[in-house]
Each structure stands twice: as structure tokens, then as C-alpha cells.
Amino acid sequence: MGALRVPGWVWPRSLGRLDVEAGLRAGICVLLPLLALLLAGVPHLSACIAFAAFTALYGRSEAYRSRWVTVCTAGASFLVVIAAAMLIALLGGSAVATVIGLILVSALGVVLSTVMGWVPFGSVFFVFAFAVISSIPLGAGEFWPRYALSAGTVVFCVLVALLGWLPRRIRGAHRRHLQRLRKVARTPAALRDPVVWLHAGETALGVVTALLIAAGLGLSRSYWAAVAVAACMPRPHAPRQVTRIAHRVLGTAVGVVVTGLVLLLEPSIWLTIVIAAVCQVLAELFVGQAYWFALLFITPLALLVGQLSAPAPVSLILTHRVLDTTIGGAVPLVLVLAGTGAAVTWRESRRRDDDGAAARA
């Protein structure tokens, strides 16, 4: 009897050097800025750093000729999202303004990802950054100093993302160990594709619906439900499957257990930052192979950074995280199934029309 083969989505396979490079870049871009905040005595400003550091997640295996465009575009997009979120926070965190902002941010992430050929795809990081930062109270004199921290982090991430250019340009035996970088296809024609805009609207609808349901149930950080929706929605023109939704719910549930074990130890702020950076590295290593497994590290990362910015009772955030993710999984499930049914009905209708036209001819 042959050995039992485990499907690739169940357990991570072997890692390539590009995966390791991407993980280390992401970890560095989280660790060093957060340590700088801690040394400056202002760890409560970690949200300004952590969400701008998402810039490091883009262009992970791209050739450098296109990578600098990718990371600069992603970084500029995050700065626009962060500025909008901070402005809403400055104006008192209006619920109506937050909902409108989430609609625009959700659509922006889908359209930009499609046009730019981004990996990771979608609006999940934009939604996460906007929702959290807009919920943090902000004084009039705090806007520009905090925004400067975000801008500085984006610049740092862009520089780190381009560091590998020099070793690949220098001749030597070391180049045999460097994996080939990929070319990325930009598709500006996607701006004229109605399917892309339909998907962007569907994602925005799901994000806002999940947010309102979670808020209506009195969950403390209802934006987690919105983030889960943005993470679970399929790409435009991709098969409408529910696998990613199952991964999200399962991975988050297990990740909450991992987070609970970490917080049970009551780590110091220094150790919390180091653990968050390690989680960022591990998440990047595995996110492209086994999504549920990567969530074992993504969940602690998100919760630990949240605790640095706005501490809350541990039992409350763990319980609410599971409930929010369940809501954030149920909403896209309904949308995916409804969209699949609509697509099948439309194709069947088109087929009958074509058959009728052929018969009349």
C-alpha cells in the first residue's frame, strides 16, 4: 500500500527561497518600526506602523523592474486609506462616514488588485487598516505626527522590498542559489470589465453587511467581520468556491486558541512585538500554500497588534473574534452561493435563447 498523500491545502509543502525572502522582509518591516516605537515610549501608536507595514506584503516574487511599481502603488494606496480613516476618526468616527469609507475601500482593493496583478489579491488589508484606524480616537494635534509615522513606514517597506536587487545584479556563485523572479501582468482593461466592478460591488455589500450585523449584535470589534468577508470573497472570473471560507473559519478558531495560550503567559511589550514579528514571518511563509494554517499566525498577529494599540479583556476579544469571523464567513457564503445560482441561471437563459435563435434560422 502506498503512502497516504495529504492534499496540499491541508498541510504546507516544502518552502522555496522566495517564500523565505518574502517572510523575512515582512517580519523586518513589522519588527523594526514597532521596536522603534517602543524605544520612543509610544507603543500605543503601533496601529500607525502595523497597517502601513502591509506594504511589505506586495510584490513578493516579482522581478524588480515591476516590483518597485507594485510596492510604491500599494504604499501610496495605504497612505490614502490611512489618511481617510484618520480623518473620519478626527471627526468623531461617524458611523455613516465609516460605512461609506468601507464601501469605497472595498471596491478600491478589488479593482486595483485586478489591474495591478497583485499578490495578495483583494481588499482585505485595506479594509482592515481603514476599519481599525477610523475606530481609534484622534485629537486635532495628533493627525500629522501619526500620519508621518505611517508615511515613514511605507518608505521603509519600499526600501526593504528592493534590497534583493543588488545581490541579483552582482555576478558570482551565489546567483545559482537565487530563484527566478516572476513577471507580472498588468491589466488596465479590467477597468472596463463589468465583472470586475460587479465583484467590487459584491465585496463592498458583503463587508458592510457583516459589519452592521456584528455591530447590531454588540460585538466589541465588529470590523473583524468585515475583514473576514474581504478575505473570503473569490476573485473576478474565478470559480465561486466555499473552500476559502471554510479555511478562514477553521484557521481563525484554532488561531484564537494559539493567541489565548500566548496571552495567558502575559508577555511583556517587548516580547509581544517579537512574537508579532515572528507571526508575520510565518504567515507569509505559509499563506500561499495552506491558508487555514497561515491563519494560526495571522490571527495572533492581528490580536497582539490590536492589544498594543487598544488593550481589552482577553476573554472578550477572543470570544468576539470567533463570532465575528463566523459572521464574516456566513455573509460571503450566501453571496457566493447566490452569485453562483445567478450565473447558472443566466448561462441557461443564454443557452435557451441561442437554441431558439438557431431553430428559427
Degrees, nearest 5: CA angle 283-288-292: 65
Q: How far apart are CA 308 and CA 82, in angstroms?
A: 18
Name the residue among 304, 292, 220 with its Cα closest to residue 260: 304
Tens digits of residue pLDDT in 193-209: 999 999 999 999 999 99
Confirm if 235 and 187 have CB atoms less than 8 A apart.
no
Predicted local confidence at residue 170, as pLDDT: 62
Confirm if 329 and 228 have CB atoms less than 8 A apart.
yes
Predicted local confidence at residue 343, as pLDDT: 46
Ordered alpha helix ranges (H), the chain: 17-39, 46-52, 64-90, 95-116, 124-134, 143-161, 165-169, 194-216, 223-232, 243-264, 269-286, 291-309, 314-360
Predicted local confidence at residue 199, as pLDDT: 92
pTM over 0.85: yes
Q: Which residues of the chain have pLDDT under 50?
A: 1-2, 4, 174, 341-346, 353
Confirm if 57 and 126 have CB atoms less than 8 A apart.
no
Q: How far apart are CA 135 and CA 95, in angstroms?
A: 10
Phi-psi map region of 218: left, alpha, beta (phi>0 left; psi -120 to 50 alpha): left
| C-alpha cell read off for 358 | 438557431
